[in-house]
Amino acid sequence: MAKAIKKQALGRGLSALLKDPDNDIKSVADENADKVVGSIVELELDSIEVNPFQPRTHFDEESLHQLGASIKQLGVIQPITVRKTDFNKFQLVSGERRYRASKLIGLRTIPAYIRIANDQEALEMALVENIQRQDLDPIEIALSYRRLIEEIGLTQEQLSGRIGKKRSTIANYMRLLKLDPIIQTGMRDGFISMGHGRALVNIDDRSDQIELYEQLVSNNWSVREVEQAVQRFQQGGQATAQKAHRSASKEIPGYAKAYLDDLKRYLDADVTFSSGGSAKGKINIPFTSEEDFRRLKKLITGV
């Protein structure tokens, strides 16, 4: 118990040191930098900004409230990691869920590890640390890989060494970015698995990808069934795909065609309709982000 109290007191002392303008720490060579870097410090939440390099863009509200309830009861068990950007200013490197949940429940401070890094190092730290998380979806991982390669300038071989993944694994994730955005969204939302996506990516034309995607979702195909469908498509060739598109368009009943353009204009989205025969059908409304989803929800429900 005495050890824990001493650790908390140290954190408070370092917090005061960071607010001393005469001893502002700007690099690892500055006086007292060794006391701050790598130590757990209680930082004011208002002094921390969200990391613009954060590869994760979606944070489930319900999950944040659950984490907030846990923090309210047990405290922040694992400190966040930040980098110092200016006098008493910090930027998140990792731990954005803990940061958001803490703000949600009205905390004023949060325990943090402090790093001193430039923008490129901060980007690499954020991306590499996020890749190691267990709850990222395949598209988030693929986007992180692409950013490390394009913005940090790593080759797939170098990236393999940095994160401890086989080069073939990295390549398989990055191929998923060739899928149509509608299919990528379906994977992020859990409608299909990475295995389904790896099968669909073998089809080059995105409209053909979507056609098979709609079939697999409607029929709840297994990965093996999707692979077989892709093989049949490839054997049938482009003429088969064009015939299927013409056939599908003929099946759309007149009442749906009459109002499809109205829906597109009202929702400002590329709304599509597929017929299941008779008077049955399905309306597909794609969205590009959480903000876009909320916009569509408000237009449809009025709240």
pLDDT per residue as tens digits for the range 120-169? 666 677 677 767 666 678 888 888 888 788 777 788 888 888 888 888 88
Least Cα distance to 283 among 266, 291, 295 occurs for 266
Beta strand segments in the chain, E? 40-44, 48-49, 80-86, 89-94, 109-115, 272-277, 280-284
Instruction: Give SS3 for 265.
Output: helix
Q: CA–CA separation, 97 vs 67, rounded Å?
A: 8
Cβ atoms of residues 190 and 184 within 8 Å: no
34/159 Cα distance (integer angstroms): 30
Catalytic, out of 42, 96, 124, 140: 96
Which amino acid does the sequence have at 11? G
How much is the pLDDT for 106? 94
What is 2-117's CATH number, 3.90.1530.10, 3.40.50.1010, 3.30.1300.10, 1.20.1560.10? 3.90.1530.10
What's the CA gap between 278 and 276, in Å, rounded?
7
pLDDT score recorded for residue 16: 67
Q: What CATH class has 128-247?
A: mainly alpha
d(CA 222, CA 225) in angstroms, rounded, equals 5
| 283: region left, alpha or beta (phi > 0 left; psi from -120 to 50 alpha) | beta
In single-letter form, the type of residue at position 248 comes to A
Question: Which CA distances in Å does 194 have to 4, 47, 172, 218?
Answer: 44, 39, 10, 18
Reading across the β-sheet that carries 48-49, which strands appear in turn? 40-44, 109-115, 80-86, 89-94, 48-49
pLDDT, residue 1, reads 39
CA dist., res. 203 & res. 208, Å (int): 7
Confirm whether 96 is a catalytic residue. yes
Q: Where in the chain is the domain with CATH 1.10.10.2830?
A: 128-247
Residue in 172, 175, 226 with CA at minimum distance from that of residue 204? 175
Coil, strand or helix at 271: coil
**Is residue 284 a contact partner of residue 271, using CB atoms and an 8 Å limit?**
yes
pLDDT at 104: 92
Q: Which of 204, 190, 93 is nearest to 139 (CA)?
A: 190
Query: Which string of DSSP letters, residue by residue, matches 73-91?
Result: HH--SS-EEEEEEETTEEE
pTM over 0.95: no
Cβ atoms of residues 64 and 100 within 8 Å: yes
Q: Where in the chain is the domain with CATH 3.90.1530.10?
A: 2-117
CA distance readout (Å), 179 to 45, 148, 167, 210, 243? 39, 20, 20, 9, 22
Q: What is the pLDDT along the chain (303 residues), one digit of tens a residue?
A: 334 333 443 355 676 667 777 777 766 666 766 666 767 888 999 999 987 766 566 677 888 888 899 898 888 888 888 888 888 888 888 788 899 999 999 999 999 888 876 666 666 776 777 676 666 788 888 888 887 887 777 888 888 888 888 888 898 999 999 999 899 988 888 889 999 999 999 998 888 999 999 989 888 888 999 999 898 888 875 434 444 444 444 455 666 766 777 787 777 777 777 665 556 677 888 877 777 788 888 888 877
Q: Which residue from 59, 55, 57 is spatially nearest to 144, judged by alpha carbons?
A: 55
Give the per-residue pLDDT at 199.
93
